Amino acid sequence: MTDPDPRIDEAHAVPMAELVDRLQISGLVKTAGELVGPCPGCGGRDRFGINLSKQIFNCRGCGAKGDQIALVQLALGMGFPEALDWLIGPRQELTSVQLAEQRRRREAADRQRRASEEKARARSIRAARDLFFAARPAEGSMLRDYLTLRGISPELLPVLPPSIRFEPEARYTIPAEGACDKWQVLHSGPAMIAAVVDPAGRVTAVHRTWLDLSQPKGKLILPDPRKEGETLPAKKVLGSKKGGAIRLASPPEARLMVMGEGLETTFSAQVANAYPEPAAYWCGVDLGNMAGRRKLGPGLKYAGIPDMEDDRAWVPPAGCAAWSSSRTATATGG
């Protein structure tokens, strides 16, 4: 049995963001800890994503996925040995001392990467908190008109929750072309600002919905300057949403929880008032945050088994005896 090639561990220590630059993969946009865009193998618009935390990629189109070596294979059309040579260089026989030094450098690079990610996460959380607490109260703002347009009138929802606020000049930014960590402001205008809080009740992110009441659904339609004929999403998250939720209603006596994916969905379930007992209504921001991380590996692609090592996954709060989720705009939690 041959010894494993030590270059494989070295390849796994190459940051994906650095590898994207080396491969000159264009069109990727950084969002929520991922690089998203067209696949270097099969194209498309946003079917391809690189998880910068897990250091892996996946394409929903051609099914390509894997690590740094697999990305080189995909982008350059190489086999595994050629891709490893391109990434690290030809194999050399190393002494035990050299192998130990290689392992030390790899572990140091991993620690540095994790520390850098944690610093970036902390900065993002601070920016989200500052944005939320600087925003205006929702009552008396155009948020009432927007929610009424979506079927959630003041008669159905007399009091807006304190987790919802209003910002008249919220900035919509995208990454600046050819500049690392630089942002371009595309639009400034009214937005609904919702606080995403962690299990301890601390604001860790904000969910923003840009508004334009002249549109049928009341949301901003913003052309994407990078892709002709396409538009950008009217909703964005700033901060760390992982494990958090937007708490629209949390009666202290509630033992039933209704969890919706989007704000309007959750509000619709709340005003439907379908349960005879008090219920909490929380918005999970998106399905990935509500579900948490799943186990990956051979035979597990469709297993749906939760990864119990995901220590930041969302879990129902203590005292919640039952809960249900809803996705459609007219759902009542069933």
Which residues fall within 8 angstroms of residue 49, CB to CB, at 6 or more apart? 34, 35, 36, 57, 58, 59
Domain count, the chain: 2
Q: Is residue 205 part of a domain?
A: no
Q: How far apart are the first and last CA of the chain?
A: 56
The answer to whether the CB of 312 falls within 8 A of the CB of 243 is yes
Q: Is residue 300 part of a domain?
A: yes
The DSSP string of 58-98 is: EETTT--EESHHHHHHHHHT--HHHHHHHHH-S-----HHH
**Phi and psi of 209, rounded to 5°?**
-120, 110
Q: Is residue 290 part of a domain?
A: yes
- Could you list the pLDDT tens digit for every one of the 334 residues in the chain? 455 777 888 898 888 988 998 998 988 887 767 888 889 998 887 789 998 888 899 998 888 999 999 999 999 999 999 999 999 888 776 677 877 887 787 788 778 878 887 888 899 999 999 999 999 999 999 999 999 999 999 999 999 999 999 999 999 998 776 555 678 899 999 999 999 999 889 999 999 999 999 999 999 999 988 778 889 899 999 998 888 999 999 998 888 999 888 899 999 999 998 888 889 999 998 877 887 777 766 666 666 777 777 777 777 887 777 666 655 433 323 2
- Domain coverage including residue 16: 6-93
Last residue of a domain, one of 65, 93, 121: 93
The DSSP string of 212-277 is: -TTSTTSB--EE-TTSTT-EE-SEEEEE--TT-BEEEE--TT--EEEEESSHHHHHHHHHHT--SS
Q: How far is CA 55 from the centre of its chain?
A: 15
- Residue 26's CATH number: 3.90.580.10
Q: Is residue 123 part of a domain?
A: no
Last residue of a domain, one of 72, 93, 114: 93
Last residue of a domain, one of 93, 128, 163: 93
Q: Is residue 62 part of a domain?
A: yes
Which residues fall within 8 angstroms of residue 181, CB to CB, at 6 or more apart? none
Q: Is residue 22 part of a domain?
A: yes
Q: Is residue 202 part of a domain?
A: no
Q: Is residue 226 part of a domain?
A: no
